[in-house]
Amino acid sequence: MEKQPTKPATIEDVAKLAGVSIATVSRAIRNPEKVAESTRKRVTAAIAHTGYIANAMAQNLRMQRSQMVMVLAQSISDPNFPGILTGLEKVANARGYGLLIGNTEGDVAMEEKYLRFLSTGMADGLVLMSGHVPVAGWPKNPNAALPPMVAVSRPVRDENVAYVGVDDINGSKVATEYLMSLGHKRIVYVSGPHGDAVSDLRYRGYCMALGEASDAGSVWNVQGDGTSEGGRAAVERLFIRDSLPTAFFCYNDSSAIGVIGSLQTRGYQVPRDFSVVGFDDIPFSRNISPSLTTIRQPRGQIGELAMSQLLDSLSTRTGKASETLIHGDLIVRDSCAAP
């Protein structure tokens, strides 16, 4: 006996299973932010159980919505990326959206490839983790064609793009003040890549802390590149000088790990001979010896807030560009001591 074809699920099936009205199901699909969370979860579960999701996707296509958001990242190997992505995905899934990942590695050709993909309407919004607005290769009128955007972790120089990230200035100020509270006056800042916006913000916080202290030493900056090798190279450049710092405040944890490695190679002990502070609190920072004192970047919270802002702007189409800065916590471990 031939098996009878299964009848496609209808919106009535979903409404009956979820115990809500057809109008509520429709609203949960089209404007999930306008439906109570408990109701939205029942509708989502009913859609998954009945298989109505295919019909819902077709409806989204008729409405010219893909229910997808693209995350354009400079590098998915960035230690901060997984935590931010987890926060982005948590909110996106709760509101019926999926994510597409575009990894450019700083390659303009790859960025153009993803922009051509976006121009087909396969994503409703764009999360920028690249530090700039992508316009190269965009067809005709770039500003009109780009979907709603939010920048995450790295600010972009565009007043029309909202930004969500850690408070780099305040976090760096707190880190520098902590070193000063231990008695350090000769504190050097190991910077990130030349022209990097985040590095410049963290340098400002470092300078503010020194400027506000009556007995602080002078500003001291040595160039790095944000990698552990860059941290090693910064130490080598310092050791050809006549004077040395007693403490290092580093642009990020990778730089700080390189600084510690270089000092140990030269026979010094951290923190007996030098203190080192990083920024970000990447997972490896607690596993090196000595474990690294650092500023913890709230990656999951940043991702959640950024996705919420983006999806709200997609729903209302009236979202205004804003800057949301989240406080980073000082995590004291074993890499610092009195000079």
- Per the domain annotation, does 219 fall within a domain? yes
Of 49-53, 92-96, 201-205, least confident by mean pLDDT is 49-53
pLDDT of residue 62: 44
Total-model pTM: 0.77
38-70 burial string, b = 16+ CB within 10 Å, else e? ebbebbbebbeebebbebbeebbeeeebbbbbb
Distance CA 162, CA 157 (A): 10
- Per the domain annotation, does 207 fall within a domain? yes
pLDDT of residue 234: 96
pLDDT of residue 209: 95
- Per the domain annotation, does 266 fall within a domain? yes
Is the torsion defined by CA of 224, 229, 234, 235 positive or negative? positive
Q: Mean per-residue pLDDT for 170-176?
A: 98
Number of domains in the chain: 1
- Per the domain annotation, does 231 fall within a domain? yes
- Per the domain annotation, does 256 fall within a domain? yes
Distance CA 129, CA 36 (A): 31
pLDDT of residue 51: 74
Distance CA 238, CA 223 (A): 10
Distance CA 162, CA 323 (A): 6
Of 5-14, 60-69, 123-132, 263-272, least confident by mean pLDDT is 60-69
Output the average pLDDT for the chain. 87
pLDDT of residue 4: 52
- Per the domain annotation, does 63 fall within a domain? no
List, in sequence order, every residue forming a beta bridge with 278; answer none if it has no partner: 294
pLDDT of residue 193: 93
CATH number at residue 226: 3.40.50.2300
pLDDT in tens, 28-81: 877 777 788 888 888 888 887 887 754 554 555 444 566 889 999 988 999 999
Of 71-75, 239-243, 297-301, least confident by mean pLDDT is 239-243
pLDDT in tens, 307-333: 999 999 887 765 567 899 999 999 999
CA-to-CA dists, residue 139 to 53, 147, 339, angstroms? 32, 13, 58
Confidence bin at 191 (pLDDT 50/70/90): very high
pLDDT of residue 47: 82
Q: Which domain range does residue 270 map to?
A: 168-298
Residue 339 contacts residue 273 (beta carbons within 8 Å): no
- Per the domain annotation, does 154 fall within a domain? no
- Per the domain annotation, does 230 fall within a domain? yes
pLDDT in tens, 108-154: 888 888 877 777 677 888 999 988 887 654 444 444 467 889 999 99
Q: State percent of the chain over pLDDT 90.
A: 56
